[in-house]
Amino acid sequence: MAPVGGDGGCSRRHGGVLRDPSHGLERARDRSADRRGSERRDRAGRGLLAHLVGHRDPGHGSYPGAWLARGVAHGDRRRAPRPLAERAAAWVDAAPRVDTGCHRTRWSVPHRERAGGAGGVIIAAAPLILAAAAGFAFAFRKRLNVVGPFSLMSIVAAFTLVSAMPADLTGALLDLELRVTDLGRLASLVILATLFLLVIDVWLDEPAYNFFPTALAVGATALGVLVVTAPLAIFGLLVLGLLVPVGSFTFQVQRNRSVDAASRHFSFVALGGCLGLSALALSASLPHEQPANTFVLLVVVLVVAFALLLAAIPFHTHAALLASEVPAAALALYFGVLVPTTFIAFAEILTLSGLLPAIVQVVKVQDLLHGIGLVSAVGGAFLASGAPDLRRLVVYSVISNLGAALVGMATLSGPGIIGALASVIVTGTSASGQLLAAGTLERRSGPDRPTARHAPMAALAFVVGGFAMIGAPPLLGFPGRFFMELIAYQFAPLTGAALVVATLLLIVGQLRAVVALFGAGLERWTIESRPVAGVIGAVIFIALLIGGIQPAGFLRPIASFAEEFLKALRPL
């Protein structure tokens, strides 16, 4: 509340009136500096709100009416009113301020955007910590005994901040609205836990100094994607996060052989980023009175852009090259962290952009998602069933699961959305464990074919990760796959049957890997030295087993997002 009974000149005589100094400040700017006598004001912030006292509405004139004289000129050291022709027009939309008292600190009514500043800083604390840690890790990346523990401590600090944030916390930072959602917090915790395991593996088992700043930067962009509410900002951060691992893709400890893979990855991400940013920028600038086909075309371009980013079939050629040429840890960073983040960002952008409600015939978008998803699900599973090595088996399995998730999204139903998001999150975690195990098996086997004889713990971790990849019960991947296939069968019996066939093909591919690893048998079970990948696989398996026994805590945040998605789709 503004002080009543005093003005900026510390006078006590004219009490009882609420004074707004903004009008006086505006008039003080326009008055001549060489005025003397009755035309001089000796302090700004003295004007009465004449329109509040009640003569004229400032919205209907060039100035808010005559100022009220507060006494004879110089009678109490105040000026008389100026002539009408010399008075400046009042700023009608002046920001509310509280008048200053005598010798007191100046206060102001907090602006509604500034009020969310503290919340914005709190929400952005975890991504900012990881971004700053990435800069430090890059400076000390060659000192593994420093950068390894520092990266782990940074991830733990970010994990603590994210877990302590309440749901629906909102704020603003640099004119960007931020919000903590249940799904965003769940995905952030899973991503940070995955990054923690990847950093441990690289630090202890396969030192690669470029990986540490890359992993921290990827974590910062992923967490930023999950808290930003502007579709353009979400997509921009996502493209930045997808381009960051190029440094890890072009570097290997033993040999530089993946420059071509990194170049193709950069090309696909840049193309998808340009298409997506163009579609979102155009949709935000166009008025709503547009032909129906305009928004349909924009959504089609957006879907194609995300298909490029997700390496969906037929845009999977760079993913196949990455599978054979990229270090296992960098591959796990891409398919275990960035791919699930990309899919969640796709769902969030569809929710926040308002494109789907603007489309009269949503069935066209459903058909596009259904077609791309079905081709990716069946085609990826077919490629996985005949994969020549462990890496390609995992990569093609991820592509197949992403295709099935797109089919679940295409149903535009609660169970389909829940199943799609749950399946993608579990797929990323299990793919990380399998890829780390595959990398360990390749290093321990040397030029020979990878078998369990060289690293039995890593081989066992690969097998149990395959159970989660195919959604076998009682692991956490089962509820999501069950929801997707059930709703797909209700959506179209042929689609449901195709997803079942894709699951069977994935099972065939995983069984072939089991035979290749354990087919020759083990003369004796000897745990390899430094079984880092085996321990990480065991941790992931136990976490997925506990989540599968009690899936409510995992599915509830996803269900809340599905409800929000459906409300955005049908606002009325």
Domain finish residue from 59, 76, 109: 109
Question: What are 291-316's pLDDT values in tens digits?
Answer: 778 888 888 899 999 999 998 888 88
pLDDT value at residue 35 = 44
Question: What are 526-558's pLDDT values in tens digits?
Answer: 777 788 999 999 999 999 999 999 898 899 999
Are residues 402 and 479 located together in one domain of the fold? yes
Distances (CA, A) of 312 to 335, 403, 406: 12, 7, 10
DSSP assignments along 36-79, one per residue = -GGG--SSS-----HHHHTS--GGGSSS-SPPPP-SSTTTSS-P
Instruction: Confirm whether 350 is domain-assigned.
Output: no
Are residues 176 and 198 located together in one domain of the fold? yes
pLDDT value at residue 317 = 80
Are residues 399 and 453 located together in one domain of the fold? yes
Residue type, 371: G
Domain finish residue from 84, 109, 134: 109
* Distance from C-alpha of 78 to C-alpha of 57, rounded to nearest angstrom: 26
pLDDT band at 426, cuts 50/70/90? very high
Are residues 68 and 169 located together in one domain of the fold? no
Provide the token pair at 278: 């163009």
Instruction: Look up residue 528 and give its DSSP letter.
Output: P
Residue 229 near residue 177, CB atoms below 8 Å: yes
Residue 83 near residue 63, CB atoms below 8 Å: no
pLDDT value at residue 57 = 44
Are residues 485 and 524 located together in one domain of the fold? yes
Per-residue pLDDT for 97 more than 90?
A: no
Q: Scanning the structure block, which residue is given the tokens 């100022």? A: 67
Question: What are 109-128's pLDDT values in tens digits?
Answer: 444 444 445 667 888 899 99
Are residues 147 and 70 located together in one domain of the fold? no
Instruction: Confirm whether 318 is domain-assigned.
Output: no
Q: Is 35 left (phi over 0), alpha (psi -120 to 50) or beta?
A: beta
Question: What are 378-422's pLDDT values in tens digits?
Answer: 999 999 998 888 999 999 999 999 999 999 999 988 899 999 999
Are residues 467 and 542 located together in one domain of the fold? yes
User: Which residues, in sequence order, are bridge partners of residue 177?
Assistant: 172
User: Which residues, in sequence order, are bridge partners of residue 172?
Assistant: 177
Are residues 148 and 67 located together in one domain of the fold? no
How many domains does the chain fold into?
Answer: 3
Instruction: Confirm whether 249 is domain-assigned.
Output: yes
Instruction: Confirm whether 531 is domain-assigned.
Output: yes
pLDDT value at residue 359 = 66
Buried b / exposed e over 436-446, threshold 16 CB at 10 Å, is: bbbbbbbbbee
Are residues 198 and 91 located together in one domain of the fold? no
Instruction: Confirm whether 317 is domain-assigned.
Output: no
Instruction: Confirm whether 319 is domain-assigned.
Output: no
Are residues 103 and 143 located together in one domain of the fold? no
Buried b / exposed e over 46-75, threshold 16 CB at 10 Å, is: bbbbbbeeeeeebeeeebbbebeebeeeee
pLDDT value at residue 360 = 58
Query: What integer best gives the mean pLDDT of the chain?
Result: 79
Instruction: Confirm whether 446 is domain-assigned.
Output: yes
Question: What are 480-499's pLDDT values in tens digits?
Answer: 899 998 998 888 899 999 99
Question: What are 227-278's pLDDT values in tens digits?
Answer: 998 999 999 999 999 998 887 776 655 555 567 788 888 889 999 999 999 9
**Range from 26-35, 466-475, 516-525 carrying the lowest mean pLDDT:** 26-35
Instruction: Confirm whether 149 is domain-assigned.
Output: yes
CA 340, 344, 346, 351: dihedral to nearest 10 degrees? 170
Mean pLDDT across 502-526: 85
Q: Scanning the structure block, which residue is given the tokens 């979102």? A: 280
pLDDT value at residue 113 = 43
| DSSP run (H or E) holding 305 | helix 292-309
pLDDT value at residue 92 = 41
Task: Of 374, 431, 436, give the one whose Cα is nearest residue 405.
Answer: 374
Higher local confidence (pLDDT), 445 or 524: 445
Per-residue pLDDT for 193 more than 90?
A: yes
CA atoms within 13 A on the CB side of 18: 8
Per-residue pLDDT for 518 more than 50?
A: yes
Are residues 477 and 545 located together in one domain of the fold? yes
Q: What percent of the chain has pLDDT over 70?
A: 75
Are residues 129 and 254 located together in one domain of the fold? yes
Domain extent for 18: 1-109
**Range from 12-26, 313-327, 391-405 carrying the lowest mean pLDDT:** 12-26
Mean pLDDT across 153-159: 95
